[in-house]
Structure 1
Amino acid sequence: MSTISFKELEESDIPLLMDIYNHFVMHTTVSFHTEPVEISEFTESVIHPNPRYQTYVIALDGSLQGYVQVMPHKKKQAYDTTGEVTIYLHPACTGKGLGSAAIQFIEAVAKGHDFHVLISTICADNQPSIHMFTKNGYTQCAHFREVGFKWGKFLDIVTYQKII
């Protein structure tokens, strides 16, 4: 049986995680970036100066397979109890329970940091991610139509939330 584990992001993990992210940039509508991100931009997106907001590496049998993070939803103080969850997995590792394990892990971390609500904003085309979040108790709370444009197509986003 495979073992799923989580550890805090280390700087040495960043290049591999950036490669996973850039796969989605170049081959899917999961990310709304239209060009690969550079190391400085990616590093800024996964390292936050406030210790409440963390990125964790997801490993399967000790091998790095993606990351999960809770980041600020908005910068205004009244939003401090709401975090935004992001998960990216190596494309070969989907359907193995890593995403659900990552959600459960990050919810426990978020509770320990006094978060009340977690949200995830997802491209409406990304049915596997939508399924993963709904399976874990998240409900749709917003649908924004045609707010992104990639590969000659307007894209919708949907937002899911869970009160933890």
Structure 2
Amino acid sequence: MPTEHTEVQVRPGGEGDLTALTDLYNHYVRETAVTFDTSPFTPEGRRPWLLSHPVDGPYRLMVATDGGAGGVLGYATSSPFRPKPAYATSVETTVYVAPGAGRRGIGTLLYTALFEALEAEDLHRAYAGIARPNDASTRLHERFGFRHVGTHREVGRKFGRWWDVAWYEKEL
């Protein structure tokens, strides 16, 4: 893992990131309840997700790397909130930071880049679902102007227990 002094670069994600992004996400699938996916992905299985986040448009993928070394430190996305046409001006956002890269401001850098990229889009709201408890994610979202709008109680079951998901909203 890079040192704290390594320069972090944030850029749009692409095909060359697929394996690293899949590995990062699979950590959260296997080890945490922050995602309700329960089976790890292969890079090929994750390719449709990657391709649904082009470098322009409202559905973006921003990747943080450790400068010249190229290791992925995290990523942030904006994705369709719901599939029905009237939801087209709303996005769901998320951020994942690599194990060992937390508390370095990676999430802040990713969300800053993501929301700057979305400024020119015809968007009205961003939403984020946070499985509870997750104080770090709650703090990050509140720092970016998200406000709590409700909680779905015991909406997911993973690792033999029920999990709540708190929903946050941000005006764009």
- Tell me, yes or no, if structure 1 residue 56 matches structure 2 residue 62: yes
1:75–1:39: structure 2 CA closer, same or farther, 3 Å change rule? same
Give identity over the alignment, percent. 27
Of 55-64 and 71-80, the range deviating more from structure 2: 55-64
Match of 2:136 in 1: 128
Check whether the contact 2:80–2:88 (CA below 8 A) recurs between aligned residues. yes
Of 72-81 and 41-50, the range deviating more from structure 2: 41-50
Check whether the contact 1:46–1:54 (CA below 8 A) recurs between aligned residues. no
AA partner of residue 63 (structure 2): V
**CA deviation vs aligned residue, 1:131-163 (integer Å, no higher than 9, x gap):** 111122110112000111011100111111110
Alpha-carbon distance between aligned partners in 2 of 1:75 and 1:31, rounded to the nearest angstrom: 19
AA partner of residue 46 (structure 2): F
Of 142-151 and 102-111, the range deviating more from structure 2: 102-111
The residue correspondences of 1:25-36 to structure 2 (distance < 5 A) are: 25-36=29-40
The residue correspondences of 1:14-163 to structure 2 (distance < 5 A) are: 14-48=18-52, 51-52=56-57, 53-62=59-68, 63=70, 64-163=72-171
Which runs of at least 4 in structure 1 moved beyond 6 Å after TM superposition?
Answer: none
TM-score (norm 2): 0.87
Alpha-carbon distance between aligned partners in 1 of 2:99 and 2:35, rounded to the nearest angstrom: 14
Alpha-carbon distance between aligned partners in 2 of 1:79 and 1:4, rounded to the nearest angstrom: 34
In the TM superposition, residue 4 of structure 1 has moved relative to its aligned partner by 2.9
Alpha-carbon distance between aligned partners in 2 of 1:126 and 1:49, rounded to the nearest angstrom: 25
Once superposed, what is the RMSD of the aligned Cα atoms?
A: 1.7
Alpha-carbon distance between aligned partners in 2 of 1:21 and 1:144, rounded to the nearest angstrom: 23
TM-score (norm 1): 0.91
In the TM superposition, residue 26 of structure 1 has moved relative to its aligned partner by 0.9
In the TM superposition, residue 2 of structure 1 has moved relative to its aligned partner by 4.5
1:135–1:41: structure 2 CA closer, same or farther, 3 Å change rule? same
In the TM superposition, residue 49 of structure 1 has moved relative to its aligned partner by 6.9
Of 4-13 and 145-154, the range deviating more from structure 2: 4-13
- Which structure 1 segments of 5+ residues have no match? none
